[in-house]
A = this chain, B = another copy of it.
Amino acid sequence: MAYVRWSHYFLPTWKEEPAEADLASHRLMLRAGLIRPLATGIYTYLPCGWRALRRVEAIVREEMDAIGGAELHMPVVHPAELWARTGRLSDFGPSLVRFQDRAGREMVLGPTHEEVVTDLARREIQSWRQLPLMLYQIQTKFRDEPRSRGGLIRAREFTMKDGYSFHEDAPDLDRYYPEVYRAYERIFRRCGLSPVPVEADPGLMGGSGSHEFMLAHDQGEDTFVRCAGCGYAANREGAVAVKEPDPDEALLPREEVATPSCTTIEAVAAFLGIPTRKTAKAVFYRAGKALVFVVIRGDLEVNEAKLARVLGTAELSPATEEDIVAAGAVPGYASPIGISGDEVVVVVDDSIPPARNLVAGANKEGFHLRNVNFPRDFQTQLVADVALARDGDPCPRCGGTLHIQHGIELGHIFKLGTKYSQSLGATFLDRDGQARPLVMGCYGIGIGRLLAAVIESHHDEEGIVWPTAVAPFHVLVAVLNPKDGNQVALATSVAAHLAEAGWDVLLDDRERSPGEKFHDAKLVGIPVLAVIGPRSLRTGEVDLERRHNGVRSPAPASPDSIQRAVQDLLRTE
């Protein structure tokens, strides 16, 4: 194994901070010569970045193989027809890139591969004897994201590990799912990360149907709730919101009250001198042709993901003032009382039934009603938790306190069930000779995002601090004066000895000042720096420096000594 000479390598570093980058990983990947943008959300991996990415890939591959995964490779370009059959050709919206090929056939760029892998399973899996099966790939995907940001954290073109498991029945998927969960934990741990596994969608298919692995991060664009007491953690969209009931009160008679210019809950509450939790708020959405009228306690916000699930729709958008008026409601003063119509669906959050004597709109400009009570004054079939969990809410599991955190989603595992196998007709013959749809799970990790997350968690103000497992090189040998033949001779022999021992070695033989070399060494963050300068020639010693703690120690340049010294240093993490 040979070492790499920086003078003949392609590792351009930047002294300046890039203006456009907000996240540390984005900034450092640009400055340390790991990536370069080609277009918005589209990046070239430079050689050092590609080396690091391949190390992450190798870890993912090992852990997927260890749970019986068989690696395959599916195409970037798919026939659109396959996506039409599952309905996702429209569901995906403009994120899905479409084009016509020269034969006029509509094609898409694959943003994920459920359709393709299920179609493959449909053709190739006939019998329960072929099950269970885990197929995975590490492959390039494209999603025309409206807001790509943060470098590799949310790119339009990205490398993803996507895995798909196939099972005879739900219990077999239930048995296998925790194996993937543990493999994911090992992958992240080996990369030096400790994301929080959160329940991503407990309402849809039971408490263990889907997990996201969230790296807590102030600038993360995902949010999740977490209980410090019992460890409960859930995606904020899926978190159960527990509403503490008010003390029981006698129901008082309803009465109208003038509330001039009070068109918001906050204004009404202030005007009447009551807390917002003593009001019932009206929130309107459109779902296809229907107007959705949500009634929720005034201090809570609607969780649109939960609402969409309750309504069984993917198309939910805020209603316009015209929509509200057309339904016979007065904007700003809308009332749940007396609202009706074929195309109006009333959804009552479960915060409303236990509440007493609320203030709600009177459906009359400038007026509200006091002492509104459910179900005395209005009714609906749809009572459900459609509220967003809040920081400080009680934990639904232990009653402790929930905290809201921002995070970066590193992985997502999901029990798909038969959603895709049914729509694509992927059946197999079970042990009784009956045709049944395959039961599936899917499991994703964004490889580039994972690499960026490693840097988010492993850097300091001077640069990257690579964990050894994913470092592009293990040792950086810097020769302070590359015009001094003796220094170069010693440096190349040290580099060769370390490479022989199996380490990946980068030799900084560039004609740069020692200051620049030390600066770049911090920036690129190779775990061990070996410095060869004039003192080395006098003493026969190399100065070693461990990047993560800055500890320096000299070591004799002889093969055995230097190899042993580096090995000892790399053991510390």
Residue ranges of A at the interface with B (Cβ–Cβ < 8 Å) = 2, 4, 7-10, 12, 36, 38-40, 42-47, 49-51, 53, 65, 68, 70-79, 94-95, 97-99, 101-103, 105, 107, 109, 116, 119-120, 123-124, 129, 132-133, 135, 140, 142, 144, 146, 156-157, 510-511
Instruction: Determine how close the nearest CB of chain B comes to the CB of A459; give it in whole angstroms.
Output: 22
Q: Is the CB of B44 within 8 A of A12?
A: no
Given contacts A36-B124, A44-B116, contact A50 B73 (CB under 8 A): yes
Q: What would 20 A/B residue contacts be, using CB atoms closer than 8 Å? A: A4-B70, A7-B129, A8-B68, A8-B133, A36-B120, A36-B123, A38-B79, A39-B105, A43-B75, A44-B74, A45-B74, A50-B71, A50-B73, A76-B142, A77-B157, A94-B102, A98-B99, A101-B156, A129-B510, A140-B140
CA distance A9 to B76 in the complex (A): 23
Q: Is the CB of A101 within 8 A of B107?
A: no
Shortest 8 CB-CB contacts between residues of A and residues of B: A47-B70, A45-B73, A99-B99, A12-B124, A94-B102, A39-B79, A44-B74, A42-B75
Per a CB cutoff under 8 Å, which of B47, B76, B102 touches A72? Answer: B47
Instruction: Determine how close the nearest CB of chain B comes to the CB of A156; give it in whole angstroms.
Output: 7
Contacts of A44 in B (CB 8 A): 72-75, 116, 120
Contacts of A511 in B (CB 8 A): 129
Per a CB cutoff under 8 Å, which of B7, B43, B144 touches A101? Answer: B144
- Closest-by-CB residue of B relative to A95 is B102
- Closest-by-CB residue of B relative to A94 is B102
Per a CB cutoff under 8 Å, which of B47, B105, B133 touches A71? Answer: B47
Q: Is the CB of A77 within 8 A of B10?
A: no
- Closest-by-CB residue of B relative to A166 is B10
Contacts of A78 in B (CB 8 A): 38-39, 42
Copies in the complex: 2
Contacts of A76 in B (CB 8 A): 76, 140, 142, 157
- Closest-by-CB residue of B relative to A107 is B39
Chain B CB within 10 Å, residue with most, of A7, A10, A46? A10
Contacts of A133 in B (CB 8 A): 8, 10
Q: Is the CB of A73 within 8 A of B53?
A: yes
Contacts of A72 in B (CB 8 A): 10, 44-47, 49-50
Per a CB cutoff under 8 Å, which of B65, B75, B157 touches A157? Answer: B75
Q: Is the CB of B94 within 8 A of A97?
A: no
- Closest-by-CB residue of B relative to A38 is B75
- Closest-by-CB residue of B relative to A5 is B68
Chain B CB within 10 Å, residue with most, of A76, A77, A102, A132? A77
Contacts of A53 in B (CB 8 A): 73
Contacts of A70 in B (CB 8 A): 4, 9-10, 47
Instruction: Determine how close the nearest CB of chain B comes to the CB of A135; give it in whole angstroms.
Output: 6
CA distance A144 to B99 in the complex (A): 12
Instruction: Determine how close the nearest CB of chain B comes to the CB of A495; give it in whole angstroms.
Output: 15
CA distance A51 to B135 in the complex (A): 13
- Closest-by-CB residue of B relative to A82 is B38
- Closest-by-CB residue of B relative to A65 is B2
Instruction: Determine how close the nearest CB of chain B comes to the CB of A123; give it in whole angstroms.
Output: 7
- Closest-by-CB residue of B relative to A158 is B75
Contacts of A77 in B (CB 8 A): 39, 42, 109, 142, 156-157
- Closest-by-CB residue of B relative to A126 is B12
Q: Is the CB of B105 within 8 A of A101?
A: no
- Closest-by-CB residue of B relative to A39 is B79
Contacts of A74 in B (CB 8 A): 38, 44-45
- Closest-by-CB residue of B relative to A132 is B8
- Closest-by-CB residue of B relative to A50 is B73
Instruction: Determine how close the nearest CB of chain B comes to the CB of A114; give it in whole angstroms.
Output: 14
- Closest-by-CB residue of B relative to A40 is B103
Contacts of A105 in B (CB 8 A): 39
Contacts of A36 in B (CB 8 A): 120, 123-124
Contacts of A68 in B (CB 8 A): 8
- Closest-by-CB residue of B relative to A74 is B44
CA distance A279 to B458 in the complex (A): 79
Given contacts A97-B101, A101-B144, A140-B140, contact A10 B75 (CB under 8 A): no
- Closest-by-CB residue of B relative to A99 is B99
CA distance A94 to B72 in the complex (A): 30
Per a CB cutoff under 8 Å, which of B107, B119, B146 touches A102? Answer: B146
Contacts of A73 in B (CB 8 A): 44-45, 50, 53
Contacts of A510 in B (CB 8 A): 129
- Closest-by-CB residue of B relative to A137 is B50
CA distance A38 to B108 in the complex (A): 12
Contacts of A65 in B (CB 8 A): 2
- Closest-by-CB residue of B relative to A11 is B70
Contacts of A40 in B (CB 8 A): 103
Instruction: Determine how close the nearest CB of chain B comes to the CB of A81; give it in whole angstroms.
Output: 9
Contacts of A45 in B (CB 8 A): 72-74
Per a CB cutoff under 8 Å, which of B10, B71, B99 touches A124? Answer: B10
Contacts of A146 in B (CB 8 A): 102
Instruction: Determine how close the nearest CB of chain B comes to the CB of A71; give it in whole angstroms.
Output: 6
Instruction: Determine how close the nearest CB of chain B comes to the CB of A414; give it in whole angstroms.
Output: 21
Apart from A76-B157, A140-B140, 12 more pairs, CB < 8 Å: A10-B70, A39-B77, A39-B79, A42-B75, A44-B116, A44-B120, A51-B71, A75-B157, A94-B102, A97-B101, A99-B99, A101-B156
Q: Is the CB of A116 within 8 A of B9?
A: no
Q: Is the CB of B39 within 8 A of A135?
A: no
